[in-house]
Amino acid sequence: MSESQPLPSVGSAQIPALGLGTAGLTDDVARTLVREALAMGYRHLDTAAFYKNEGPVGQGIADAALPRDEIFLTTKVWFDQFHSDEVRASAEASIARLGVDYVDLLLLHWPNPDIPLEETLRGLNAVAEAGLTKHIGVSNFSPAWMANAVRLSERPIVCNQVEYHARLNQDAVLATSRELAIPIVAYSPLAQGALVDDPLLTEIGVRHDKTASQVALRWLVQQPGVCAIPRTSKVERAKANAAVFDFRLSDEEMSAVAGLARPDGRRINPERMAALWG
Ligand SMILES: NC(=O)c1ccc[n+]([C@@H]2O[C@H](COP(=O)([O-])OP(=O)(O)OC[C@H]3O[C@@H](n4cnc5c(N)ncnc54)[C@H](OP(=O)(O)O)[C@@H]3O)[C@@H](O)[C@H]2O)c1
């Protein structure tokens, strides 16, 4: 990645295919990583009200001093704020903490079966109508929830952000996302670090002069309609994680990596996911 070579982007919202995840970064680290990632060419940042780091993420954005329209900034509304007026209040509070005039993408962080999706989407659409976000989307939505969201939303749902990495088969979500032409943003793309020393990924990496982490990320962004948002607290790793657009995995290598999927591969909230997705 370099400033002269823009990242490939995905879908109607032109989401840059690789972004910086920020969950769990402490304040100083979040500010530094955001500033340095933008300096090295990242143009997509992922945060959430729930992460309690929108302030430092916004400071990192200000430090980088880039034109605002060069950055694709995503934040999320936590699922206990899903009544229509609460969605608006959450968005306004996020934007104030971030110190920006708008975000590029506002996501519903998790489905909430206790509040009608129609009402929540009405609130989300109103936030876009008011110019507080350019695009709207969802996160952790099953294929059935995705289809409902598309049906009930006035504006396009531009992505579903879900856990996706080589240890977790997401064929059902991918099939629906392609049918609905909704990109997938892959969170925990390194399986929260579990893939960084995987022997198969390491072996494939040697062939391409890349690390196992780079192969894990390349495998995601090489799939049509898939973006990835790895998180790191280390500037050098952020640089390495972005260097995945200068090589290509063969069809055989793509299939071999897919073969790493296993039934217990899900890292984030398997119980909640089972309850929501059935
Ligand atoms: N929508 C949702 O519900 C949801 C849920 C989870 C996550 N997310 C988003 O997705 C982002 C990424 O997911 P994640 O943080 O769960 O997991 P991840 O990005 O798969 O993995 C992060 C872990 O990998 C390590 N790491 C990163 N790059 C590395 C490299 N090149 N070599 C070795 N280790 C490396 C990091 O450690 P170091 O910091 O030490 O480098 C960290 O421990 C989050 O930050 C968040 O923005 C969204």
Average pLDDT of the chain to the nearest whole number: 96
pTM for this predicted structure: 0.97
In 3-state terms the chain splits into helix, strand, coil percentages (rounded to 5) of: 45, 15, 35
Tell me the CA–centroid distance for residue 25 and ligand 1, in Å.
10
pLDDT band at 164 (very low <50, low <70, confident <90, very high): very high
Distance CA 135, CA 74 (A): 9
Residue 42: active-site member: no
Q: Give residues (CB < 6 A) around ligand 1.
A: 21-23, 46, 109, 139-140, 161, 187-193, 196, 213, 229-234, 237, 240-241, 268
Give pLDDT, residue 5: 59
Tell me the CA–centroid distance for residue 278 and ligand 1, in Å.
26
> Are the CB atoms for 1 and 240 separated by under 8 Å?
no
> Are the CB atoms for 48 and 109 separated by under 8 Å?
yes
> Is residue 3's pLDDT more than 70?
no
Question: 42, 51, 102, 164: which is the annotated catalytic residue?
Answer: 51
Give pLDDT, residue 7: 78
pLDDT in tens, 201-246: 999 999 999 999 999 999 999 999 999 999 999 999 999 999 999 9
The ligand 1 atom nearest the CA atom of 196: 33
Protein residue whose Cα sits closest to atom 15 of ligand 1: 231
What sign for the dihedral angle of Cα 166, 167, 169, 170?
A: negative
Domains of the chain (ranges, CATH numbers): 9-277 (3.20.20.100)
Give pLDDT, residue 75: 99
> Is residue 118's pLDDT more than 90?
yes
- Angle in degrees, CA 132, 134, 137, rounded to 5: 100
Q: In this structure, how many other beta carbons lie within 10 angstroms of the beta carbon of residue 26?
A: 10
pLDDT in tens, 12-21: 999 999 999 9
Structure tokens at 35: 């500033």
Q: Which amino acid is at 110?
A: W
> Is residue 111's pLDDT more than 70?
yes
Beta bridge partner(s), residue 9: 16
> Is residue 113's pLDDT more than 70?
yes
> Is residue 159's pLDDT more than 70?
yes
Choice from 163, 190, 219 to test ligand 1 binding pocket (greatest atom count within 8 A of CB): 190
